[in-house]
Structure 1
Amino acid sequence: MGTATSGSGGTDRIIPVLTVSDIDDAAGFYARLAFDVVDRYDGYLILGKGDLELHLSEWDGHDPTRNAGTTYLRVPDAQTVYDDLREQLERDGCLYPVPASGLTPELTAGLRARVEAGVPTVRLHEIEDKPWGLREFAVIDPSGNAIHVGHPVVG
């Protein structure tokens, strides 16, 4: 196996490690966000996208109906990422849209039913301008990890 290195060549950085229930499903999901597999070990993936690095660790007892972890991706244009991701998820039949206001009890029940039935499900929260000056959205991967994606709102 190769060695993952930072784009800047430095060693002082924080790298998120997210728990996933299926490493192969996770690799497919993060490929939709333009991450490439940098290295792979038994039950562990190192992904890269430019200077970004993300690690995934498989755990058999993981419950994807609960939020396991969170990470934030700051991008130049969150709207384009949102539109592209929504289109891919719709095409793949795994989109579970969630309003910006969050999950209601009805949506939660529908989500749980899909997951328990084994239907591939990716929650995509609607994009919006936040009061803290970022345009952002959240996508919840099949293992329950929240990935927030956003960019600063100019003006």
Structure 2
Amino acid sequence: MTDTGDDRERAVPILTVLDLDEAAGFYARLGFEVGSRYDDYVILHRRPSTELHLARFPEHDPHVTAGSIYLRVTDPQALHDSLRAELAREGVLYPAPASGLTPELTTELRARIAAGERLVRLHEIEDKPWGMREFTVVDPAGNAVRVGQVIDA
């Protein structure tokens, strides 16, 4: 498909969340800014052309109704390092292996959250066999955000 530069036709992900303010604050860490806000809906923008919508859904359960998006960026390492430092400063960092959570880590994470800890799961960054340098971070509503860049050959 040829890129015509026409922005009128594109897909925009809509993620459900419990708390719009908390979610918008989380996505600000990934470079998003609030473009528009309505009662139960926020439209976020990340320059130059990425758009993400958040919809408040009172019945949202992070363990059941979570979604995911893939965010392509020009420097995933810098974003990962910045996000890791900020989450660590706030005391909410839950570092996870790039390969995903083991059953033991899942049990530990769920127990800590059930005990009232506010944690943000951030997976390590790595070069993937499919040609991407990427990492995953999970937002407060349980949505997985995979962040990456094509590896230059």
Which letter does structure 2 place at the counterpart of 1:22? Answer: D
Distance 1:41 1:115 in 2: 30
Query: How big is each residue's C-alpha offset from its partner over 1:82-135, in whole Å with a ceiling of 9 and x where there is no partner?
Result: 101111111111111110121112211121123223322111111010001110
Distance 1:67 1:122 in 2: 17
Change beyond 3 A, Cα 1:90–1:28: same
Moved more, 77-86 or 102-111: 102-111
Partner of 2:60: 62
- Give the 5 Å matches for 1:12-23: 12-23=9-20
Partner of 1:98: 96
TM-score, normalization: structure 2?
0.90
State the Cα distance separating 1:21 from its structure 2 match.
1.6
1:32 to 23, 26, 29: 29
State the Cα distance separating 1:9 from its structure 2 match.
6.8
2:137 to 139, 143, 155: 139
The answer to whether the 8 Å contact 1:65/1:112 transfers is: no
Query: How big is each residue's C-alpha offset from its partner over 1:56-75, in whole Å with a ceiling of 9 and x where there is no partner?
Result: 01111211234611111111
Change beyond 3 A, Cα 1:115–1:21: farther
Change beyond 3 A, Cα 1:111–1:136: same
State the Cα distance separating 1:35 from its structure 2 match.
0.6
Moved more, 117-126 or 83-92: 117-126
Distance 2:120 2:57 in 1: 19
How many percent of aligned residue pairs carry the same amino acid?
58
